[in-house]
Amino acid sequence: MKKFFVFAASVLMLAGCGATGLEGGSSSSEGKTDDKKPAELTVGVSVSTLNNPFFVSLRDGVQKLADENKTTIKVVDAQDDTAKQSNDIDDLIQQKVDVILVNPVDSSAIVPAVESANSANIPVIAIDRSSDGGKLLTTVASNNEEGGKMAAQFIIEKLGENAKVAELEGVPGASATRERGKGFDDYAKGKLNVADKQSANFDRAKGLTVMENILQAHSDLQGVFAQNDEMALGASEAASSKGKDFIIVGFDGTVDGLKAIKDGKMSATIAQKPEEMGKLALQAAYDHFAGKKVDEKIDSPLDLVTK
């Protein structure tokens, strides 16, 4: 398990590093494609929400590499609405984009949209969250299950076994929610007393409300694992308002999350590199249209960041 100072982690986040993949798709070696240069491509990008700095960074990574290569990008914001995301992707298909990069709101609900793109012979690349069905060219995401395990290990290291903790879960149905939860729960089983688990939809305001409710029922809580930094920041606000001081571990390594660690408002985060994820996803599209083999999974290490 790696540990880095917040300043160093902030630099790494801005500079970027690798990315991971989860449920598989198909590699470009399975079929031929017309060679197209980056400047000839139109790329559709469907993001789950741009109301979260993590996904803003992800989009920025795509946009920066696209600008460098004169690639046309069409970005749509699903606003955490599965129906809107499906409609957005249908629109991109109608616009005859060359490839679709999708960060699903829900890994199950996105399947029909992926299949529609498949039927239109438009390659689909998933970012950060996978699709439960349809054919993907590749999935670019962190190893969320390993990240959940790292969070549990850190909490046990700090609090010892049998500590009373809670878990703030992400959007129900999202692969990241399932995998981060599984990694945490599997490792914590028999080692931590997980007194409560509730969804806060990866949202800061909901994280605040849910954490306040949990604290009413469990005033002696010693720690919390929030499946993203936004919920962890909400949990921090709830702790402060109740005059509580306990271990708070987030996930993502956002700028706000890293600042909260530096300021002592969060204990740690499992840091990803969303900007680099975006770049890797678009590069995979470039490689595909250049006739190169694209791996079904593109993986990236995670870093445990503490003060």
Q: Read off the pLDDT of residues 84-115 as tens digits, 9 standing for 90 and up.
A: 999 999 999 999 999 999 999 999 999 999 99
Q: Which residues of 187-206 are buried (b: 16+ CB within 10 A; e: fewer)?
A: bbeeebebbbeebbbbbbeb
The radius of gyration computed from the CA coordinates of the chain, to the nearest angstrom, equals 19
**What is the band of 135 on the pLDDT scale with cuts at 50, 70, 90?**
very high
Report the pLDDT value the prediction gives residue 300, as an integer from 0 to 100: 76
| Distance in angstroms (rounded) separating the CA atoms of residues 145 and 260 | 24
Q: Look at strands 164-169 and 138-140 and give their pairing.
A: unpaired
Contacts of 136 (CB under 8 A, 6+ apart): 23, 24, 25, 26, 114, 124, 125, 126, 130, 296
Cβ atoms 81, 50 nearer than 8 A: no
| Distance in angstroms (rounded) separating the CA atoms of residues 122 and 117 | 5
CA atoms within 13 A on the CB side of 38: 17
Q: Is 217 exposed, middle or buried (0-12, 13-18, 19+ CB in 10 A)?
A: exposed
Kindly report the pTM of this predicted structure: 0.79
Average pLDDT of the chain, as a whole number: 90
| Distance in angstroms (rounded) separating the CA atoms of residues 180 and 183 | 5
Three-state secondary structure call for residue 306: strand
| Distance in angstroms (rounded) separating the CA atoms of residues 182 and 176 | 10
| Distance in angstroms (rounded) separating the CA atoms of residues 290 and 284 | 10
Q: Read off the pLDDT of residues 283-307 as tens digits, 9 standing for 90 and up.
A: 999 999 999 999 999 987 799 999 9
